[in-house]
Amino acid sequence: MVVMDPRKMEKKMKNSKKASFNIGQVVKHKYYPFRGVVFDIDPEYANTEEYLMSIPQKIRPTKDQPFYHLLAENSETEYIAYVSEQNLEIDDSDEPISHDELYNFFGDYANGTYKLLDNLKN
């Protein structure tokens, strides 16, 4: 997966709600026991209708908000998650993420944020 050029993302998000979380930030799901680090952001929903309908109705998000691609983990496994802004919050545990793909994107960790690798910055 490729991290979107921040300049392109800014232009794409111009007419959308500003993202509350940043690439490299550690977040957690509000309702499910997983956390992850943001590696890409869509300014609005960009997945299938089937995926959206698979989300329980009581927490199903609207499409017109930022959605985050996460290197996610829980107590049993790690995976890629696609989560709406309304269903995320800052993870203030100050615990690093241990996802196998983490160091393909990020380097140093400090204050709940990973630094994007220089070769991925544009």
Please state, in angstroms and rounded to a whole number, the distance separating the CA atoms of residues 26 and 61: 20
The CATH code of the domain that includes 80 is: 2.30.30.390
> pLDDT tens digits for 46-60?
999 999 999 999 999
pTM given for the model: 0.84
Residue 1 lies in a domain: no
- Residue ranges making up the domain that contains 41: 6-120
Residue 68 lies in a domain: yes
Over residues 17-21, the mean pLDDT reads 91
Single out the residue of 27, 35, 16 nearest to residue 75, CA to CA.
Answer: 35
Residue 46 lies in a domain: yes
